[in-house]
Structure formats: C-alpha cells, structure tokens
Structure 1
C-alpha cells in the first residue's frame, strides 16, 4: 500500500508529537496554519510538519486525518470537516463520550470512514510510548495501525464498534484525573492541620493502584454505610479549611446507593456494580 498523506487537527502538545510519529510511515503530514497561534506554529515547525493555508486544502490532500483537539470543540470541528466533504479516514482521537463519537461518525458519513480513537499515556517524546486505542471498520483501523507501526505510538484495536475506544479512554481518565484531584484535597486537608508530610509517608507504604483491584468494589459496597458518613465528615473538614467539599459529597452520595447491602460478605463484584447502576 502506498504511503498516505496525513492531516493533523491540531498540533497541540499531543497532536504534534503523534503526527511526528505518523510521519515515519507517511509521505507527508499537513497542518492548517490559518487561525493558529504562534506557539502552534513553533511546535509544528519543531516536529517538521508541513503547513497549508486552509482546512479545505488539508482535507483535499490528506488520506487520513487525525483529530486531536480540545474535547469541547471536537464535534464542531467534525461538522466543518463534513461540510467540506472529506472522503478519507477520519481518526476521532479526542477524549469525548461514546455518544459524541457516534454522532461524529454519523456527521461524516457516508463520505468519510470514521475510526474512534483514544490516547492513553503521555505525548510520545522523550521515550514515552502512549497507546492509541482504536475501534471502527476493520480496513480503516488496519490502515491506522500500519501508519504507526514501528513508532513510539502503540496501537490496539478494540473492535469494529465506534465508541469502544472513547469509552475506554474516558473510563480510565475518570479514575486517573479524579484521583489527582483527590490527592490535592487530601494533602490540602492534612496541610491545614500540619500533618501533610505524615500523610505522604502513610501513602508511600502502598504503591498499588486501586484501579487494578476491581474485586475490592464489593467490599467497598458492603462498607458504604460507614464510609459515606466518614466522607461527609471529611467534606465538612475540607469546607472548614476553605477547600471545595463537593467531590466528597458526591462520593458519599454514590456510596448511598449501596446502603442496602450493609456488611454483606457474600456480595459479588457483579452485584455491587448492578446496584450502583440503579438509583
């Protein structure tokens, strides 16, 4: 198969680095300089991307377009691309909901073939090797896999259904990002009482990620009747320290869905998740 021409929308810190990896197996990687910042231009130049004057030119010349932009504008950008009748492979690689990914696929069809994508990891520079998860038509996902073969961007196909890659990305991000915010709240609370260093020492004794222990969810459900009030107390402590308590209030509200399984040692992960999904 001939090497394709790639278009990147837009060369942010992730987009530019991913595009540079794609350049390994592409004849050219284009970006549209109109309306972009000086920083974007400098970044694109650093990664040796080829500027074009208009989006229409980029789409006309590109076989595969990769969309990596702020999630809030992903659908609007796809709408513009659809209006310009792009007819190649469109890799929707933004951190968006599966529903939004499906809407974008409908917007661009039948002219374009949409591949749902989700990048997990840091930009592929300095030895970092993120994974680009893909879902969509088999021939299109195969083309994207080939594009990144032998580069720092690893690929994994999750199936043919648009939305799967987005779901995985958001499921992971919901834990990863929220856990960082929880760290800020926990350290902020401890600092208010002068025990932040002690908190860090306590935490350093445990290095495993809770996300890798889903079996513990059932135990969490069985203890929710105790943990909920504890988090409400913690929320009050945050508020007293001038820190936002809403996240812990929300966690306590979530735990309340498990109040009917108090101390149930026979509860399974499936049972716990089923109960969590029912108000």
Structure 2
C-alpha cells in the first residue's frame, strides 16, 4: 500500500509529537497554519511538519486526518471538517466523552470513516512511549496501526464500537489527574500548618503514592488549562453512566485556579501552591 498523506489538527505538544511519529510511515504530514499561534509554527517546524495555508487544502491532500486539540474545540473542528466533505479516515483522538465521539462520527459519516482514539501517556519525546487506543471499523484501524508501526507510539485495538477508546482515556484520566489535584490540596493544607516537609517524609515511605512526588504539582498547574476540561468530559461520562460526577467537577474547578499558568515551565512548587491559595 502506498504511504498515506496525513493531516494533523493541530500541532500542540501532543499533536506535533504524535504527527512526527506518523511521518515515519507517511508520504507527508500536513498542518494548517491559518490562525495558529507563533508557538504552533515553531513547534511544527521543530517536528518537521509541512505547512499548508487552509483547512481545505489539508483535507484535499490528506488520506488520514488526526484530530488532537483541546476537548472543547473537538466538535467545532469536526463540523469544519464535515463542511468540506472529507472522505478519508478521521481519527478523533481528543479527550472527549463517548457520546461526543459518537456525535462526531455521525457528523462525518458516511463521507469519512471515523476511528475513535485515545492517547494514554506523555507526548512521544525524550524516550516516552504513549499508547494510542483505537476503536472503530477494522479496516480503518489497520491503516492507523500501519501508520505508527515501528514508532514509539504504541497502538492497541479495543474493538469496533466508537466510544470505547474515549471511555478508556477518560476513565484513566479521571484517576490520574484527580490524584494530582489531591496532592496539591494535601500539600497546600500541610504548608498552611507548617508540616509540609513532614508530609513529604511520610509520603516518601510509600513510593507508589503520587503524594511522594510533590514536585509534580508545578507541572499539574502548568497543564491545568488542558486537564480541567478533560475532567469535565470525564464527569459527563460518569453522569451518563449513573455515577456521581461531583468529585471530578470539583477537581476541574480546583484546576481552574491555575488557568493563568498555562504551559509555564518555570513554576516551582511554592509558586503553584501560592496560586492555588489565591482564588
């Protein structure tokens, strides 16, 4: 089979790194530079992606499109793609709830073939090897598996039902991200009473606990702008399953206190806790 041309929507920290891996088995990896930030341009250049001027050009040239964007934008982006009657394979790889994944599939079909995807793990750089979970039509999934064959992005198939990959992504995120929020709250409470070092000492006796990694609180703060909406999606999924969503909504609300720390790699634990304590 000829190597496909791939379009990435959009080259954020995860999208650009995943797209760079796809380039191993693709004729080209395209991204649309229209209305994107300077940071996106620099990131796309760094990962060797090919810029095109418009979404229409990207869709006309692409056999496979991978959507990796903030959760809130996923449906609007899919609407734009549907408006161009894209007829290739569309990988809906955003952290959205299963019902939204199914709505997006209905929006794009029958012109496009939709694969539900969920990336679990860190962006594939500096030795990291995330897994892209896939569910949907078998023939389309085979094309995505071939696209990432031999790269550090692992693929795992969950079946043919749209929504399964999204559900697994959010189920894992609901634990992993809320646990990090709880660490921040525990550290903030302990610091207020002058026992934060003692808390770290207690936690260090249990190396399997996130509480033994308080330095990660600063990273959590820098990623809060992405994690909060993801937890809202997970809360919607819990509610749809008849399970209580309040814990995840509270975690999302806590993360919102850090929204102005977007991607700030210079934050320290002290900075993050100071911001958390100031509504």
Same fold judged by TM-score > 0.5?
Answer: yes
Match of 1:115 in 2: 115
Q: CA deviation digits over 1:93-114, x for unaligned, max 9?
A: 0000000000000000000000
Q: Quick one: distance in 2 between partners of 1:139 and 1:187?
A: 49
Match of 1:92 in 2: 92
Match of 1:42 in 2: 42
Task: Give, in angstroms, the shift of residue 208 of structure 1.
Answer: 2.8
Q: Judging changes above 3 Å, is the alpha-carbon distance between structure 1 residues 149 and 248 closer, same or farther for their aligned structure 2 residues? A: closer
Match of 1:164 in 2: 164
2:7 is the counterpart of 1:10? no
Task: Give, in angstroms, the shift of residue 250 of structure 1.
Answer: 6.7
Q: When the two structures are superposed, what TM-score results if normalisation uses the length of structure 1? A: 0.75
Match of 1:129 in 2: 129
- Match of 1:118, SS? strand
Q: CA deviation digits over 1:166-194, x for unaligned, max 9?
A: 00000010111111110010011111111
2:101 is the counterpart of 1:104? no
- Alpha carbon RMSD of aligned pairs, Å? 1.8
Q: Tell me if the contact between 2:178 and 2:248 (Cα under 8 Å) persists in the aligned partners.
A: no
- Could you list the runs of 4 or more consecutive aligned residues of structure 1 that deviate by over 4 angstroms after TM superposition? 246-251
Alignment of 1:137-216 (within 5 A): 137-208=137-208
Q: Quick one: distance in 2 between partners of 1:250 and 1:117?
A: 26
Alignment of 1:221-232 (within 5 A): none
Q: Judging changes above 3 Å, is the alpha-carbon distance between structure 1 residues 109 and 184 closer, same or farther for their aligned structure 2 residues? A: same
2:44 is the counterpart of 1:30? no
Q: CA deviation digits over 1:15-69, x for unaligned, max 9?
A: 0000000000000000001111111111111111111111001001000000000
2:75 is the counterpart of 1:78? no
Task: Give, in angstroms, the shift of residue 198 of structure 1.
Answer: 1.0
Task: Give, in angstroms, the shift of residue 207 of structure 1.
Answer: 2.5
- Compare CA radii of gyration and give the structure with the larger one: 1
Q: Judging changes above 3 Å, is the alpha-carbon distance between structure 1 residues 79 and 128 closer, same or farther for their aligned structure 2 residues? A: same
Q: Judging changes above 3 Å, is the alpha-carbon distance between structure 1 residues 57 and 180 closer, same or farther for their aligned structure 2 residues? A: same
- Match of 1:159, SS? coil
- Match of 2:100, SS? helix
Point out which structure has higher relative CO (alpha carbons under 8 A, 6+ apart): 2
Q: Quick one: distance in 2 between partners of 1:137 and 1:40?
A: 32
Unaligned runs of 5+ in 2: 211-245, 252-279
